A and B are shown apart, each in its own frame.
Chain A
Amino acid sequence: MQKRLPLNKIAGYLFVIASALIMLVPFLTTVFNSLKTYKQYMQFPPEWLPNPTQWSNYTTVWEQANFSSYTINSLIVAILSVIGALLSSSMIAFAFARLRFPFRDTLFMIVLGTMMIPGIVTIVPQFIIFKNLGLLDTLAPLWILEWLGQPFAIFLMRQAFLNIPKDYEEAAKLDGCNPFQIYWRVFLPMCKPSLATLAVFTFMGKWNEILAPVIYLISDENFTLPIGILSLSGQYKTEDQLLVAGALISLIPILIVFLFAEKYFVEGSKTSGLK
């Protein structure tokens, strides 16, 4: 019996390879662009491969954008934000999902309603509040809001809690758990995928955030990574190849976080209907 390559299988592979190329080419272009000289970067029509390969862009950008100290600040902000978001939002979400109190649903609507206000509108009042609290030029304004609950995170966690059958709650109650124990010992462990999703979202958002650091930070030693990368762009001349190199370096932590959380993350996206 002669072995025949099934036609649909070939078509399938071709389709997958083509899709992979569509994803890969822009990324590779970015990598190659980060290895060009300014002169080569400015060439038109552009050459795809860097020639000569300018590896020193990475060391230059590391020094110029002050990566070593900015990375630490960015990590502090991102990690504190993740902890804050996970604790506060899940706690609030638990209350909205499981506890009974007057005006519960109205309050939840109000929380969701705040999502409709564009963030830029509240920048000046927020700035004045932080100024009066004496928190300007500290990292606090960048992560502290996450400790007070974020509407999107609350919504996400509430959906997750609502999916847990009431029987678990009742069983825990019979065993003598108080509401906090039910939340901490029963509900949280059951919602790991949602927590992982939330952690990745928060981490990525904070890691890449640019507006708040620009507005609240003044001293060099408090700057976060996005400011470092942005500070490479000048009013009159921007070394684009350095900018690209910097952006690629700052991608690494996000990749790491994503790889660790991937298993839960994909599951979480499925159950919460997010992609």
Chain B
Amino acid sequence: MKKKRFLSVLGMIGLAAALLVSGCSSQSSTQQGDKVELYMGYSSDPPTKKKMEEIIAKFEQSHPHIKIKTMTAPYDDFYQKLTTQIAAGNAPDLWQSDGTKVFGYAQRGAILDITDYVTKEINKDELNGLEFNKDADGKYWGVPQGIQVGALFYNKDLFDKAGVPYPTADWTWDDLKAASVKLTLDANGKNADDPAFDKKSVKQYGFAFFGSSRGAFNILKAYGGGVLDPTLTKSIINSPENKKAVEWMVDGMQRKLFPNPADLKAFQSNFKAFLSGAVAMQVDIYAATTSMNGAGLNYDVAPMPKGPDGKRFAPVIANSWVINKKAEEQKVKAAKEWITYWTTSDEAQKEWTEVGEAIPVKKSVANSEMFLNPATKPENKKVFLETLEFAGTIDTNAVFTEWVKVFTDNLAELFMDKYGTDEFITKTDQGIQKVLDDFFKKK
């Protein structure tokens, strides 16, 4: 009996103590001595995390007055956490932002306008992609951390098997479709040109596109159309150029040259279609090379095809360092020291290039043998650097995620023959305009 009473008392004490102890622990102070503690956030996976830690260690060695505390998580969770932290007012002083999110943070007042720093302290001629973070008013909101740019990836084995010459820099989107006809095979190995071609049992497709940077947006742009006007507040979906581009895509889907959203679903993930060698061509960004090399694909890249009037478009995303608007003055100073180190130090640039996930922001490193190394695939890496000359952003604004959702959802319905091109155009135009008005008009 006594033992049981003892247990019950113990339980009560335990409960009380747990509450007490956890309530008393306090946050550690952010500063020790005259060392500045810089709180930095970045999204990561095991290889990128390891590399970033190495670079941070080197930075701390050469900048002994700065101590870096990090907050990192995988991509999706990182942004979920960051959003909560921004709302609660304790976000990192400095973070690495996806290029598509920079203007979103800027327009919601979360990050610092760093125009002054960029114009005075950054040598623009030495860096790739700085201009992509300049808004319509000429203000800079971030400094590139790594560049992603789109190109046409093609599976060399499939081209060789079909006896089709590889894509060239002169290709138009119609050339791509013509090649796709020969590269689309049914279960009996007959290509889409063959009268006996069985549309119901396609086992290899010519070309796949999906999502935003890998998708229809690029084709609209090459045809002279687009989604948003230069102020990024008005939809320009309703145009004859867009209609032509959309008809081009629907035709390819109906002839089964391109997998439609349902066909892609069968591969578990959109990316697996090309990775498994079931698709001959795909638009993708530089980072895709890591998974393609991992899958042991025999592939190369060509510049994005041209539209009917010779116009060319490739998507670019400049993932960037941004500074918290609420950061204290000395931390802002430390953050700028980090950004300067990142963009100017050959050491840091080369280390980061080794991960193979992004095109280096420092031009001298991007043009070096180290990056262009022909021993690793794709051989034609110069295509990425050349593409930077004509590449453009994918209309990223504060409501980027929201309008992309309307755009891709409607496209999926169009490709699944839920409605025709005209209905798609009016519906998408209204849908996107509503998303824009909901944010910008209320502001």
Which secondary structure characterizes the binding site on chain A? Answer: helix
Query: Which one, B77-85, B152-160, B301-309, is touching chain A?
Result: B77-85
What separation, in Å, do the CA atoms of A135 and B18 have in the docked complex?
13
Residues of A within 8 A of B49 (CB): 231
Q: Hey, what's the 0/1 contact readout for B377-393 against A, CB within 8 Å counting as 1?
A: 00000000000000000
Tell me how far the C-beta of B3 lies from the nearest C-beta in chain A, rounded to whole angstroms.
12
Q: Which residues of A contact B276 (CB under 8 A)?
A: 42-44
Among the listed stretches A6-14, A94-102, A136-144, A199-207, which one makes contact with chain B, having 4 or more residues with CB under 8 Å of it? A136-144
Cβ of B169 within 8 Å of any chain A Cβ, yes or no, is no
- A residues 139-195 touching B (CB-CB < 8 Å): 140, 144, 147, 180, 184-185
Check A19 for interface membership: any CB of B closer than 8 A.
no
Which residues of chain A are within 8 angstroms of B32 by Cβ–Cβ distance?
none
Q: State the main secondary structure of chain B at its contact with A.
A: helix
Q: How large is the interface on A (under 10, 10 to 19, 20 to 34, 35 or more residues)?
A: 35 or more
**B45–A124 touching, CB < 8 Å:** no
Give the segment of B21-29, B118-126, B334-342, B429-437 that binds chain A. B21-29
Give the chain B neighbours of A210 by CB distance below 8 A. 77
Are A131 and B291 in contact, with the CB atoms below 8 A? no
A136–B90 touching, CB < 8 Å: yes
* Chain B minimum-CB-distance residue to A43: B276
With A123-B84, A231-B45 as given contacts, are A39 and B295 in contact (CB-CB < 8 Å)?
A: yes
Cα(A144)–Cα(B25), bound, Å: 14
What residues of A have a CB within 8 angstroms of the CB of B62 in the complex? none
| B275 in contact (CB, < 8 A) | yes
Q: Which residues of A contact B81 (CB under 8 A)?
A: 214-215
How many residues of chain B are within 8 Å of chain A by beta carbon?
48
B400-412: CB near A (< 8 Å → 1, else 0) gives 0000000000000
- Which residues of chain B come closer than 8 Å to A234, judged between CB atoms? 44-45, 47-48, 74-75
Query: Residue A114 at the B interface, CB < 8 A?
Result: no
- Chain A, 110-128, contact with B by CB distance < 8 Å: what is the 0/1 string? 0000000000000110011
Residues in A with CB closer than 8 Å to B288 are: 236
- Residue contact A235 to B22, C-beta cutoff 8 Å: no
Check: B357 CB closer than 8 A to any chain A CB: yes
* B344 interfacial by beta-carbon distance below 8 Å: no
Contact of B287 among A38, A128, A211, A235 (CB under 8 A): A235
Once A44-B273, A87-B15, A236-B357 are accepted as A-B contacts, the answer to whether A135 and B22 lie under 8 Å apart by CB is yes
Query: Are A232 and B90 in contact (CB-based, < 8 A)?
Result: no
Given contacts A38-B291, A44-B272, A238-B45, 17 further A-B contacts (CB under 8 A): A42-B272, A124-B84, A124-B87, A124-B88, A134-B26, A144-B18, A147-B15, A230-B73, A230-B77, A231-B49, A234-B47, A234-B74, A235-B98, A235-B287, A236-B288, A236-B357, A237-B287
23 contacts between A and B (CB under 8 A): A42-B272, A42-B275, A42-B294, A44-B273, A83-B14, A87-B11, A127-B85, A127-B88, A133-B23, A136-B27, A138-B22, A147-B15, A215-B80, A215-B81, A215-B84, A231-B49, A232-B45, A234-B74, A234-B75, A235-B45, A235-B74, A235-B98, A239-B294
Report A's interface with B, CB cutoff 8 A: 38-39, 42-44, 64-65, 80, 83-84, 87-88, 123-124, 127-128, 131, 133-136, 138, 140, 144, 147, 180, 184-185, 210-211, 214-215, 218, 227, 230-239
10 tightest A-B CB contacts, nearest first: A234-B45, A44-B276, A236-B287, A235-B75, A140-B22, A237-B291, A214-B77, A134-B26, A237-B290, A42-B295
